[in-house]
């Protein structure tokens, strides 16, 4: 792979604006190459005139060096192409600190085409100064962070001594030099409100708590510091890679310049690069060694192999068997669909009473899995495009490095589940078609329930199979959503809650499962008890409201923590949606003109509010004065038209959902449950499209702030006098 394509692939996505703009400099060199080719072609048919080169003419007047001088001849000054000088400037971005700025003087600007080369070196200097300033800023940040971690480690070691065995420690301190326990008198615990217990405690107490010297306190502090060291080490590796890649990029571009212009300017410029802060600074390498030593000693009990595996996890390998099973399950799914269609046609289930009975009972039971598989397929598509366009979804979601699922793994789960579902559907049909088993209708009705049990058991399976890390990550996020607003709201939590708002019909199907099997309707395949129950109807409204109410609580929590008025407006958006959902549900149960007007008005307001929020706030589009009119300054997708098409599609899909629930249009050739399922699928598709642009906007915000590693809250706070020591 050429360096121009490999360079952005190895760069840290959030720092891409700070890297050398290799493609821009390459474009300038291409202009120089085109100019020289034109000059060559214009003189190819002209007879060359005898001329004496400047090099030969000047050499006639050079001082005589003698015949006995055995040293190698020095480089002639007239062969010099550039002179690179460095000046000390006060960098306002670094608080007025001194930084070096490099400027290249091009000595051949008077030659034909020299103006193009002058532009190239000006661009080259700009890129190098940009890279050097950024690198120095990040190194200074890392040094300050290392000092902070030093003080934190002093407190942790003192707390560890105090908690484990203070009497023995006092006895041993007479024989060995032990860490001072005086630091504990100057620190307090930072009680972050991340759990229900800490949230409730923070309501009555200050966030800075006195030390209690217990093991739980020690365990929590040690866990936070361990995570802080992991993130700090990752940042240092990013910096090391940043310096290496940029040095390589400047070397490549200068060699390309020499090749195009037939000059020898790379030696002088690369010598400056080698002598600059970018190459000479060794703070990052030293910090990496110290961090690794501290981490291995204090967090891995001196086990270097375990410590290095934790600090530098191996990259995930692409397994060919995953691709094989994806294709295998996909083929099996198609075959099972064909078999189901043939079975339905043979039983003539689309005609007569059989259709009504199946659509009212069996269809809701299995459509639940259809919604789930479709959402997983949309997520697989999201992962594919996030990976293709370098959206760092793994960092944004906070996945443990190397555990994130690629799109093939998600497809494997999706098609594997679809095979299981379709096989159950076919078995259900075949068991009734077989004369020997058609009397066991109760047994056939239990197949969907058995399938639900299997899926739930797989999700909560404690064994290290079937992507356990990802399953537990998902379950933790689900639990945080259920317990909102007691847990600290992170992006995965509210992102998942937004997914639930697009799966209202799936949640209603879960309610149908509870009613159908709980009240025994499955024994006679009749959902009349559920459909005619007032309690069931009320719970149906409550279940539809729950996902939006979770988002309201999350917005309240985020507003209380950050005092961000945007979160208050976001909460109002979900409240308007709740009003629309309740009014639509009441209208569907009790038809009437007043309810129809209320449902239409509330749904219209909620749709306008939500559509505006999707496009402007979540996607960051409709910026009037941006570089891309009515979009945003930075775009990831190559075509701007995709953004406009997506905005229109978002509006259409939202309106389609509103119209169907309000029964503005009835489809006589489709059963009502089938029509509801189709519109529910359209909402899932809309959510899948929303997911890509929502994370794209989040990624660009991280890029704008050069945020490439997570900020981990530290366990201790200090008095100012001690912190400044």
CA distance 433 to 444: 11
Predicted pLDDT of residue 362: 87
Cα-to-chain-centroid distance, residue 98: 36
Say if residue 215's pLDDT is above 90. Answer: no
CA distance 101 to 90: 10
Predicted pLDDT of residue 76: 42
- Of 186, 156, 433, the residue nearest 298 (C-alpha): 156
- Of 717, 557, 568, 698, the residue nearest 194 (C-alpha): 557
56: pLDDT confidence band, cut at 50, 70 and 90? very low
- Alpha helix positions (H), 348-462: 352-360, 362-388, 393-397, 407-433, 441-445, 447-459
176: pLDDT confidence band, cut at 50, 70 and 90? very low
What is the average pLDDT across 374-401? 94
721: pLDDT confidence band, cut at 50, 70 and 90? very low
Better-predicted residue by pLDDT, 643 or 563: 643
Say if residue 130's pLDDT is above 90. Answer: yes
pLDDT digits (tens, 9 = 90+) for 646-669: 999 999 998 876 665 556 545 566
What is the average pLDDT across 2-30? 91
**Residues contacting residue 475 through CB under 8 Å, at least 6 positions apart:** 459, 460
Distances (CA, A) of 449 to 446, 456, 461, 518, 539: 5, 11, 18, 11, 20
Say if residue 610's pLDDT is above 80. Answer: yes
Contact 30, 264 (CB under 8 A): no
What is the average pLDDT across 591-609? 88
Chain mean pLDDT for the chain: 84
CA distance 365 to 564: 42
Residue written as token pair 């996945």: 399
CA angle 544, 548, 554 (to 5 degrees): 150
Tokens of 442: 């109760």
Predicted pLDDT of residue 317: 75
What is the average pLDDT across 293-322? 88
pLDDT digits (tens, 9 = 90+) for 482-511: 999 999 999 999 999 999 999 999 999 999
Predicted pLDDT of residue 354: 65
Better-predicted residue by pLDDT, 168 or 360: 360
Percentage, residues of the chain above pLDDT 70? 83
Long-range contacts of 660-669 (CB under 8 A, 24+ apart): 661/584, 661/588, 661/603, 662/584, 662/587, 662/596, 662/599, 662/600, 662/603, 663/588
CA atoms within 13 A on the CB side of 204: 4
Better-predicted residue by pLDDT, 435 or 570: 570
CA atoms within 13 A on the CB side of 16: 19
Distances (CA, A) of 363 to 43, 94, 374, 412, 445: 80, 64, 16, 25, 12
Q: Could you give phi then psi for residue 34, rounded to 5 degrees?
A: -65, -40
Quote the pTM value: 0.86
What is the average pLDDT across 74-89? 69
**Residues contacting residue 254 through CB under 8 Å, at least 6 positions apart:** 265, 266, 269, 270
100: pLDDT confidence band, cut at 50, 70 and 90? confident
How does DSSP assign 196-222, residue by residue?
HHHHHHHHHS-SEE-----HHHHHHHH
Cβ count near 660 (within 10 Å): 21
Question: Does residue 188 sit in helix, strand or coil?
Answer: strand
pLDDT digits (tens, 9 = 90+) for 538-593: 999 999 999 999 999 999 999 988 778 899 999 999 999 999 999 988 888 887 78
What is the average pLDDT across 37-60? 56
What is the average pLDDT across 361-388? 95
Measured N-to-C along each axis, helices 215-261 and 304-311 cross at an angle, to the nearest 10 degrees, of 60
CA distance 298 to 176: 18
Say if residue 105's pLDDT is above 70. Answer: yes
Instruction: Find the farthest-apart pair of alpha carbons in the chain and give their distance in angstroms, rounded.
Output: 116
CA distance 294 to 299: 8
CA distance 677 to 370: 9
CA angle 344, 332, 380 (to 5 degrees): 110
Say if residue 180's pLDDT is above 80. Answer: no
CA distance 496 to 48: 74
How does DSSP assign 323-369, residue by residue?
HHHHHHHHHHHHHHHHHHHHHHHHHTTTSHHHHHHHHHTHHHHHHHH
CA angle 314, 318, 319 (to 5 degrees): 115
H/E/C letters for each residue in 224-242? HHHHHHHHHHHHHHHHHHH
160: pLDDT confidence band, cut at 50, 70 and 90? confident
Say if residue 169's pLDDT is above 80. Answer: no
- Of 500, 693, 503, 708, the residue nearest 615 (C-alpha): 693
66: pLDDT confidence band, cut at 50, 70 and 90? very low
Q: Name the CA radius of gyration of the chain, rounded.
A: 34
Better-predicted residue by pLDDT, 170 or 416: 416
Quick one: DSSP state of residue 49?
A: P
- Of 587, 601, 712, the residue nearest 233 (C-alpha): 712
CA distance 359 to 639: 43
CA distance 425 to 427: 5
161: pLDDT confidence band, cut at 50, 70 and 90? confident
CA distance 551 to 506: 18
Distances (CA, A) of 193 to 200, 234, 299, 323, 645: 8, 26, 25, 43, 42
Q: Where are the beta strands (DSSP E) in 641-682?
A: none
CA distance 562 to 87: 43
Say if residue 605's pLDDT is above 50. Answer: yes
Predicted pLDDT of residue 4: 85
What is the average pLDDT across 472-487? 94
Say if residue 181's pLDDT is above 90. Answer: no
Say if residue 58's pLDDT is above 80. Answer: no
405: pLDDT confidence band, cut at 50, 70 and 90? very high
Contact 449, 517 (CB under 8 A): yes
CA angle 706, 384, 415 (to 5 degrees): 145
Say if residue 438's pLDDT is above 70. Answer: no
Better-predicted residue by pLDDT, 314 or 611: 611
pLDDT digits (tens, 9 = 90+) for 237-275: 999 999 999 999 999 999 999 999 888 888 999 999 999
CA distance 551 to 556: 9
Distances (CA, A) of 299 to 221, 311, 344: 12, 11, 61
Distance spanning both ends of the chain, measured CA to CA: 51
55: pLDDT confidence band, cut at 50, 70 and 90? very low
205: pLDDT confidence band, cut at 50, 70 and 90? low
The ranges assigned to domains in the chain are: 320-704
CA distance 432 to 346: 12
Bridge-partner residues for 208, per DSSP? Answer: 190
What is the average pLDDT across 118-142? 94
DSSP H/E element including 83: strand 82-91
Number of H helices, E strands in the chain: 28, 5
Of these ranges, 184-198, 343-357, 376-390, the one predicted with the greatest mean pLDDT is 376-390
Tokens of 470: 């990802």
What is the average pLDDT across 115-125? 92
Question: CA torsion, points 300, 305, 309, 310, in degrees to nearest 10?
Answer: 10
CA distance 605 to 601: 6
């Amino acid at each position: 792979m050429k360096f121009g394509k490999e360079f952005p692939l190895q760069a840290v996505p959030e720092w891409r604006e700070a890297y050398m703009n290799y493609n821009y400099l390459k474009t300038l060199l291409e202009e120089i190459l085109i100019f020289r080719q034109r000059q060559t072609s214009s003189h190819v048919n002209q007879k060359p005139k005898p001329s004496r080169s400047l090099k030969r003419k000047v050499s006639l007047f050079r001082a005589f060096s003698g015949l006995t001088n055995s040293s190698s001849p020095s480089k002639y000054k007239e062969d010099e192409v550039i002179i690179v000088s460095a000046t000390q400037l006060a960098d306002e971005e670094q608080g007025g600190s001194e930084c070096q700025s490099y400027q290249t003087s091009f000595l051949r600007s008077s030659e034909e085409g020299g103006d193009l080369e002058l532009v190239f070196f000006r661009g080259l200097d700009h890129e190098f100064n940009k890279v050097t300033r950024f690198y120095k800023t990040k190194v200074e940040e890392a040094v300050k962070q290392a000092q902070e971690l030093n003080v934190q480690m002093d407190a942790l070691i003192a707390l560890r001594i105090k908690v484990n065995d203070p009497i023995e420690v006092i006895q041993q301190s007479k024989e060995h030099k032990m860490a001072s326990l005086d630091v504990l008198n100057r620190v307090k615990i930072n009680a972050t409100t991340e759990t229900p217990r800490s949230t409730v405690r923070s309501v009555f107490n200050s966030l800075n708590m006195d030390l209690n010297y217990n093991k739980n306190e020690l365990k929590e502090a040690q866990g936070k510091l361990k995570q802080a060291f992991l993130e700090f080490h990752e940042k240092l590796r990013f910096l090391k890679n940043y310096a290496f890649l940029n040095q390589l990029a400047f070397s490549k571009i200068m060699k390309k310049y020499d090749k195009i212009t037939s000059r020898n300017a790379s030696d002088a410029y690369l010598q400056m690069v080698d002598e600059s802060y970018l190459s000479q600074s060794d703070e990052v390498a030293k910090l990496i060694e110290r961090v690794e030593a501290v981490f291995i000693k204090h967090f891995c009990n001196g086990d270097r192999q375990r410590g290095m595996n934790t600090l530098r996890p191996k990259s995930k390998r692409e397994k060919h068997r995953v691709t094989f099973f994806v294709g295998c399950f996909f083929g099996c799914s198609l075959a099972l669909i064909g078999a189901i269609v043939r079975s339905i046609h043979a039983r003539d289930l689309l005609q007569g009473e059989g259709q009504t009975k199946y659509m009212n009972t069996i269809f809701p039971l299995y459509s639940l899995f259809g919604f789930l598989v479709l959402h997983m397929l949309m997520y697989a598509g999201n992962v594919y495009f996030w990976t293709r366009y370098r959206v760092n979804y793994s960092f944004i979601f906070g996945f443990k490095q190397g555990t994130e699922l690629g799109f093939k793994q998600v497809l494997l789960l999706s098609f594997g589940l679809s095979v299981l579902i379709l096989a159950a559907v076919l078995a259900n049909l075949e068991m009734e078609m077989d004369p020997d088993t058609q009397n066991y209708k109760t047994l056939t009705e239990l197949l969907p329930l058995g399938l639900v049990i299997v899926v739930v058991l797989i999700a909560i399976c404690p064994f290290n199979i079937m992507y356990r890390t990802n399953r537990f990550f998902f379950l933790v996020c689900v639990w945080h959503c259920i317990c909102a607003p007691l847990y600290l709201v992170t992006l995965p939590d509210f992102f998942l809650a937004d997914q639930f708002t697009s799966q209202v019909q799936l949640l209603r199907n879960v309610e149908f499962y509870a009613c159908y099997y709980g009240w025994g309707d499955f024994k006679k395949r009749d959902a009349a008890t559920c459909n005619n129950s007032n309690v069931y109807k009320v719970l149906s409204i409550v279940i539809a409201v729950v996902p939006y109410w979770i988002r309201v609580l999350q917005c309240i929590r985020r507003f209380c923590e950050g005092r961000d008025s945007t979160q208050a407006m976001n909460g109002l958006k979900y409240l308007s949606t709740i009003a629309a959902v309740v009014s639509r549900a009441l209208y569907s149960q009790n038809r009437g003109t007043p309810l129809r007007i209320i449902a239409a008005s509330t749904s219209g307001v909620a749709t306008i509010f939500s559509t505006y929020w999707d496009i402007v706030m979540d996607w960051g589009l409709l910026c009037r004065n941006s570089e891309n009119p009515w979009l945003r300054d930075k775009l990831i997708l190559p075509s701007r038209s995709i953004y406009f098409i997506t905005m229109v599609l978002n509006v259409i899909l939202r309106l389609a959902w509103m119209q169907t629930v309000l029964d503005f249009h009835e489809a006589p050739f489709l059963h009502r449950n089938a029509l509801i399922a189709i519109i529910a699928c359209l909402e899932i598709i809309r959510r899948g499209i929303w997911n890509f642009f929502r994370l794209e906007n989040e990624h660009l915000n991280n890029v704008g702030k050069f945020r490439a590693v997570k900020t981990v809250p530290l366990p201790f706070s200090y008095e100012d006098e001690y912190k400044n020591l």
